[in-house]
Structures are given as C-alpha cells and as structure tokens.
A = this chain, B = another copy of it.
C-alpha cells in the first residue's frame, strides 16, 4: 500500500498553458470541496470563481502582484465565513475552509489539472479586492489550469513522532 497518487503527484504549479478549464470541471472541483468535513457540519465556506481578466488582475495584485497567476484561466477563491458559525470561532472557520480548499487541489490533480494554492496577501487587502467583510477569512486563491511544466517535488523535513 502506498500514499495515494493525488497526494504524491500534486505540485504547486506556476506555469500554465492556454488550455481552457470548463464550467463543468470547475463545478466538480467545488463539489469536492462541498464534501469536506467540518466542525459540527457547519460548512463555513464560500467560493468565488474568477475568469475575467479584470478580476484576475485585481486579485493577483493583492496577492503580492504575482504576475504568473495571470496565465491561469481560472482562480477559485476559497473563503471561510463566520456567518456559518454562531459562536464566532474564527479558528475553526480557518481550519474548515482549509480542508475544503485542499479537496479542490486534490480533486484537480485527480482530473489532470494543475493548481497553486496562493496566499501571499494580507486579509485586509484581499478582502478589499473582493469586497468581503471582516467576518471572512480568505483561506486561499487557487489558480487552476493545465501545465506542461510540472515542477519536481518540493523537499520536506523528516517527521519524528512520539508513540504515547
């Protein structure tokens, strides 16, 4: 038994081809996110799909002006939102919206799509770019597309764990 291929083969891809991503593909990525677990099944997440040049520019500028992002035909913005939790617990909102975001990345890999989870922004600036209020946490802006330059694996440290 091995580690599942979607986990092993996923990369942070920052070079995309011109090939389009269909609405049906995007819907399947968001369906994968929708099935994520969350605390008390609160599902404290919203998604924005971004295809217009204008919005992609606004978002990538707020995302440390990473020019490479403009190559990707689609961005999916993953937003944790306190409106789904009565207890005001933003830590759990962040946790759960991260789970849903990662489902998008793994499902994309499963479908042969390339992604990068970007997060090089302040919440203040990204919320302003997106018109979101301060009860929102932008967990990630995920670029989605096709690549012909899949990078090598990034190195990871060894993990030692106690058995208690």
- Give complex CA distance A1, B157 in Å: 34
- Give complex CA distance A79, B28 in Å: 31
| A34-42, A65-73, A143-151 - the one binding chain B | A34-42
Write the chain B residue with the least CB distance to A46. B161
Interface size class of A (residues with CB under 8 A): 35 or more
- A35 near B3: Cβ-Cβ < 8 Å: yes
Q: A4-B110, A154-B41 are in contact. Are A36 and B102 (CB under 8 A)?
A: yes
A53-96 vs B, Cβ < 8 Å mask (1 yes, 0 no): 00100000000000000000000000000000000000110111
The 19 listed contacts between A and B (C-beta, < 8 Å) are: A1-B25, A1-B28, A3-B32, A4-B6, A4-B107, A7-B35, A7-B107, A23-B163, A37-B102, A41-B154, A46-B161, A48-B161, A48-B162, A49-B161, A50-B163, A50-B164, A55-B164, A95-B139, A98-B99
